[in-house]
Amino acid sequence: MTAYEFPEFAYNLPYMEKHGRAGSENPWSQRKTAVYCQHRAEDSSSTWVFLQGSKTLKQFFKKPRMSPLNKKHHMEIDSVVDHMTIFTILDDNWTEYIKYLDDQVTTYISSTFNEFKRRKRKEIWFKISRSQLIYILYRNNGL
């Protein structure tokens, strides 16, 4: 490999996106984007293939790109920047999605604690999903 040859890249990244379907309890969908990238040093060009790219990702790659004076040197830097931008764009909604999940769990636990207090029980089972159960045992500590 010469100084200006580039490897090919292929990866599959999950991301969260609001689906916009009315009547759904959960407004989020987990989706995946497949990315393939090949750079050619001889003509300073690159080929990108996206499968099921997010709306934001499509908008980013539709924008015209600057053409640097030293194309070969800048191609290396631009490639890293482009890949980091893809990761950042697809990472963007995860924080909002995790906040949504946190709010859902907090609401569920609060309503269960209220029921717990009302019935004056010493133990509670929270069913979080089909495969997970969280068991919380309280001693008589004023709850």
pLDDT tens readout for residues 71-122: 555 556 677 888 888 999 888 899 999 999 888 888 887 777 777 677 666 6
Q: What is the pTM of this model?
A: 0.64
Q: Are 52 and 83 in contact (CB under 8 A)?
A: no
Q: Which domain holds residue 118?
A: 95-137
Q: Are 27 and 19 in contact (CB under 8 A)?
A: yes
Residue 134 has pLDDT above 50, yes or no: no
Pair 81, 106 in one domain: no
pLDDT given at position 34: 94
User: Is 143 inside any structural domain?
Assistant: no
> What DSSP string runs through 33-52?
EEEEEEEETTTTEEEEEEES
| Residue carrying structure tokens 């990315």 | 35
User: Is 132 inside any structural domain?
Assistant: yes
pLDDT given at position 106: 83
d(CA 77, CA 41): 13
Pair 18, 72 in one domain: yes
Residue 64 has pLDDT above 50, yes or no: yes
Pair 47, 110 in one domain: no
pLDDT given at position 81: 83
Pair 63, 114 in one domain: no
What's the whole-number average pLDDT of the chain? 75
| Residue carrying structure tokens 């609060």 | 110
Banded model confidence at residue 15, pLDDT cuts 50, 70, 90: very high
d(CA 122, CA 136): 9
Pair 16, 68 in one domain: yes
Pair 79, 39 in one domain: yes
User: Is 82 inside any structural domain?
Assistant: yes
Domain count, the chain: 2
Pair 29, 57 in one domain: yes
pLDDT given at position 13: 93
Q: Which of 76, 92, 108 is the last residue of a domain?
A: 92
